[in-house]
Structure 1
Amino acid sequence: MTEDDRPADPARSRGTLRRWAPLAIILVLTAVAFGTGWHRSLTLDSLVAHERALRAFIDSNLFGALAIYALVYVLVVALSLPGGLILTLAGGYLFGWFLGGGLTVLAATAGAILIFLVARSSLGESLAERAGPRLAALREGFAANALNYLLFLRLVPIFPFWLVNIAPALLGVSLKTYVVGTFIGIVPGTFAFAFVGAGLDGVVDAQRASFETCMADASARGLDPASACDLGLDVAALVTPGLLAALAALGVLALIPIAAKKVLRRRSAR
């Protein structure tokens, strides 16, 4: 009997299934989300367009609305879909900065943990087995100061959230360190953007009034209101340089212990 004729090892097959099935599910769901265009509904214009219906649902079923918001946020993070910032602003706008910000931190952390576990199970072990000397050294260096590095990556808003979710899994960061670093690291930015979202009422009211005037004028002139009018809410205008600088400063603070450790190590080596 040749090696190819031997029956497959059930235990090995189950191990392979456990390893790759979660990643396959994530990829399929991500493809469905992009294929159906579901992620395109995560915009400020969509939020304003459905605001009255959303607030009516929240008033009649607060806990249900919170659960749906949290579930959507977990899915967006776990599937690495664009729209996390919009959802954070929406959470502050619809639920208030404190409740919306707190729920967002929990949901974002849960989604990040989910994709971290999938990446570590499916890719991390394989990468560790095939890692060359340079990558192995990078993994060791990152692991030695994993919490500080992770806090820096979370606090500085120039790194894509999906990349920071996956990279630690490939660099051998422990689950405990990842959870602590993620939870603490996203708190400042999340509450800052939730606070911005909570203050959008005046901006939204002004833009809605302008939009409704444009719609009426377009209809009177025989134009298509949908193509002639736009709410014009720009997320980039809400993310001020001062806010980004403050978050970047917090990120730099997270690296101070690493720099101090290296300085002390060099002095002791002299």
Structure 2
Amino acid sequence: MSYNGADTATALVAWGNAWLAGHVGLDEAVDAVEKASGPQILGAAPTTADEPPSAALLDEVTLRRGLGDLRVAGMTAFRLALPAPGDPLGLSGPPAFNRAALDAGAAVIVSLPDRALGLVPVEDRRGSSYVGVRWNSQDAAPGLPDVPTLAEADRQLTLAMRDATEALLTVDDVSGIPPEIADALADLRDPGRNDHPLAPGYPQRAHRVAALAGRLAVVVELARRLDAHGLTADQMHRRGDALRLLDGAIRRALVAACNSAFDPVP
């Protein structure tokens, strides 16, 4: 399996919140997270000589043990952060944690009674065959970040999808849309696909939004690989803008969906 920090963080938040809400057990949650990204451990983030270690997790432990310890410490929720350059989505500081999360493209914030703990995923390779994930822990700001509600993210994603689809269909060269992207666009119209990244207990709208965001992420990845041969500078600019806006809407949709586990049911 190939490592993807955003997918890894999404899985931990989704299944972690399902566990905290009582919809699944700890073993089921950890099995689901590790099925997506391989074996995982928690430990303190590396520090320099003049930096004190985080007060959070000083010992390296398995994901199962680490989550159990955090639950005993009063953990109440997981929050997802999917930052990008110029867009610290889901982050509220401090700067050291924000920088680490931005470098990784993803992070998880754990809510504790009197503080918050930031977990940043990094690929963990050992020897010739072991490939897993290490969660580097460090202190995070306890305040809630400025992120959209699920309803707002749903609307933004729908608008961005429409604009990006129009751009891809009208901007790309005369050879037309490659079959991989055509197939991915067709998948957007299949509401019956069971490919959402969330866990049991989430609102139905969250499942739908997360599934759509996941399919659109495939479209963005494929579109960015397209050869720009034959495109004018204006066409390249329009396509790039559409994909950047869609990428931002996708990240907001995933953050809003994952963080909606404890939203009141309307």
Is the shorter-chain TM-score for this pair beyond 0.5, marking a shared fold? no
Report which of the two has the higher share of strand.
Answer: 2
The structure with the larger Rg is 1
Q: TM-score, normalised by structure 1?
A: 0.26
